[in-house]
Structure 1
Amino acid sequence: MASNYLLALYHKTLRLPFGRQIFSRMFASKAPYFKTIKPLITELRPGYCELKFKKRKAVANHIGTVHAIALCNGLEMAMGAVAEASIPKHLRWIPKGMQVEYTAKADSDIRITAEIPAEAWNIGDIAVAVNGYKADGTQVITGFITIYVSAKPKR
């Protein structure tokens, strides 16, 4: 059984026809800007998230490749999903910063990954590894999104 609310929802929707699409739309609606890339979360588990989105005119730049902001949008969505799917119940997180490098032209559909090792969950800053790849596996973006982790307030 899933250990938190997001993983429980993910596994519940996977049992439905078009479950990945339903879950991806639901998650993207939490931060509506995510919807602009029309993402599909293809894998979600503690410590790891993978999503994909298609290269199309709405996410392209003036030279016909996937725009840097669309790539960063995918990185942030994958990071948010893996953080929510992985964080211990007594902690909370908020994004603090992003550092990325563009390593190749993003001229195809995109696959994004975000990873957090289980042992990283401590109060303070955590650097979440984020990467993007084009269809042939070439890395097009790499970096870290720093999140600040704190204890949930006592109720």
Structure 2
Amino acid sequence: MTDNYLLRLYKKCLKYPGGRWLFSTMFARKAPYFATIKPRIQVLEPNFCQLTFKKRKAVQNHIGTVHAIAVCNGMEMAMGAVAEASIPKHLRWLPKGMNVEYLAKTTSDVTIEAKASEQTWHPGDQLIEVVARRADDTVVAKGHITIYVSNKK
């Protein structure tokens, strides 16, 4: 088993009924705005996170599709989970910027994936890839979130 606190918690939660919901709820409490989309982390492992959230009135815009900012909120949460689950203990990270292209209307539930690599976890500006898809697998948004990685003091 890994020594990463977040991966340990995720694996522990998965042993219980509703474990993904429980873990996702606890993680979203770290940054309460994440909870507004009612996300569910489906997969969490080093350098990869997949989360989903449902299309519902609270995340829709004036034309009845999922609001772009709700999608970005999910992207940021997935990135944060990847960073916390992957970064070596001697490093820390801070979000620095987000670059997103909106490619299609989000007319259904949403699946978001965030990906990093072993090369991400070195001091300096690093990119984490984020992609959002609707239920028919159409990419609705993609981009990257820049994080600044530095040594802990």
Fold-level match, TM-score > 0.5?
yes
State the alpha-carbon separation in 2 of the partners of residues 63 and 3 from structure 1: 46
State the alpha-carbon separation in 2 of the partners of residues 8 and 65 from structure 1: 36
Cα RMSD of the aligned pairs, angstroms, is: 0.5
SS in 2 for 1:26: helix
Offset from partner CA, 1:87-107 (integer Å, 9 cap, x none):
011000000000000010000
Give the partner amino acid of 1:14.
L
Give the partner amino acid of 2:126.
I
Deviation, structure 1 residue 121: 1.1
State the alpha-carbon separation in 1 of the partners of residues 59 and 41 from structure 2: 17
**Which residue pairs with 1:148 in the alignment?**
148
Alignment of 1:105-144 (within 5 A): 105-144=105-144
Give the partner amino acid of 1:45.
E
State the alpha-carbon separation in 2 of the partners of residues 81 and 121 from structure 1: 14
SS in 1 for 2:30: coil
Alignment of 1:1-155 (within 5 A): 1-153=1-153
Give ranges in structure 1 of 5+ residues lacking alignment: none
Offset from partner CA, 1:104-125 (integer Å, 9 cap, x none):
0000000000000112211000
SS in 2 for 1:41: strand
Q: TM-score, normalised by structure 1?
A: 0.98
**Runs (4+) off by over 6 Å:** none
SS in 1 for 2:58: helix
- What percent of counterpart residues are identical? 64
Deviation, structure 1 residue 2: 2.2
Q: How many correspondences in the alignment?
A: 153
Is contact 1:2-1:11 (8 Å) kept?
A: no
Deviation, structure 1 residue 3: 2.7
State the alpha-carbon separation in 2 of the partners of residues 3 and 47 from structure 1: 15
